[in-house]
């Protein structure tokens, strides 16, 4: 049985209609009404009923917490926690892989603004989907591919080497950013499975449809 998941979800443009316009002067959040996108409330209730924890995230400032909480309450948007002030830059979720679980422990979903969350498929099966996303390529190459640019010394391999996509040879990661597993593979102390870029994964999966 799948354990309940922790869902981090944006608010503006994801759960409700994006409220900002190019002309922001005079914008009054205190009196603004939040408009949930179609299917938002039903999807949130389904997640809550399944036992998932819903953590809302937003770039709105902490000083806007009271007005935001009021808007969410009046709109009928349910949640467990609200994280304010995380900014408008790219959001990165990092988590460790569990030794006893054969699936990813972190998943990212990017939605077109104002399309809503109603189209998200069964969230309980998502970890299995992402775990098998690369399976069509896994049998084509038996181990990770590194490029050293004719550097022989191990120290310089780690410093100047690069981890490549085993299919198209695109650079996935370069020196000083290697994990312990990758450094071990560079030193020929262990084998590391082949790694692939997202484009090669998507191209291969599209062929299988």
Domain annotation for the chain: domains and CATH numbers: 6-132 (3.40.50), 135-208 (no CATH)
Q: What DSSP letter does each residue of 168-191 carry, written as one string?
A: T--EEEETT---HHHHHHHTTSS-
- DSSP state at residue 110: -
CA dihedral 133, 135, 137, 140 (to 10 degrees): 170
CA dihedral 113, 117, 118, 119 (to 10 degrees): 70
The string of pLDDT tens digits covering residues 119-176 is 886 676 665 544 445 555 555 666 788 877 665 567 767 777 888 888 888 888 776 6
The string of pLDDT tens digits covering residues 83-112 is 999 987 888 888 887 776 666 788 888 888
Strands 81-83 and 145-147: unpaired
**137 backbone dihedrals φ, ψ, rounded to 5°:** -100, -20
Inter-residue contact 127 to 103 (CB < 8 Å): yes
């Amino acid at each position: 049985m799948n354990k309940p998941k922790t869902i981090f979800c944006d608010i503006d443009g994801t759960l409700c209609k994006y409220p900002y316009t190019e002309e922001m002067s005079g914008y009054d959040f205190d009196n603004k009404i939040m408009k949930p996108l179609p299917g938002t409330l039903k999807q949130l209730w389904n997640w809550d009923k399944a036992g998932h924890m819903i953590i809302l995230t937003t770039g709105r400032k902490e000083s806007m917490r009271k007005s935001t909480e009021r808007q969410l309450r009046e709109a009928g948007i349910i949640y467990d926690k609200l994280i304010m002030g995380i900014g408008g830059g790219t959001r990165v979720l990092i988590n460790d892989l569990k030794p006893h679980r054969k699936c990813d422990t972190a998943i990212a979903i990017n939605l077109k603004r104002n399309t809503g969350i109603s189209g998200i498929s069964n969230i309980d099966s998502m970890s299995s989907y992402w775990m098998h996303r690369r399976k069509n390529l896994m049998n084509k190459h038996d181990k990770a591919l590194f490029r050293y640019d004719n550097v022989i010394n191990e120290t310089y391999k780690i410093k100047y080497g690069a981890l490549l996509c085993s299919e198209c040879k695109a650079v996935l990661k370069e020196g000083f950013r290697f994990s312990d597993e990758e450094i071990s593979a560079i030193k020929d102390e262990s084998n590391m499975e082949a790694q692939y870029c997202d484009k090669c994964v998507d191209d291969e999966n599209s062929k299988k449809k």
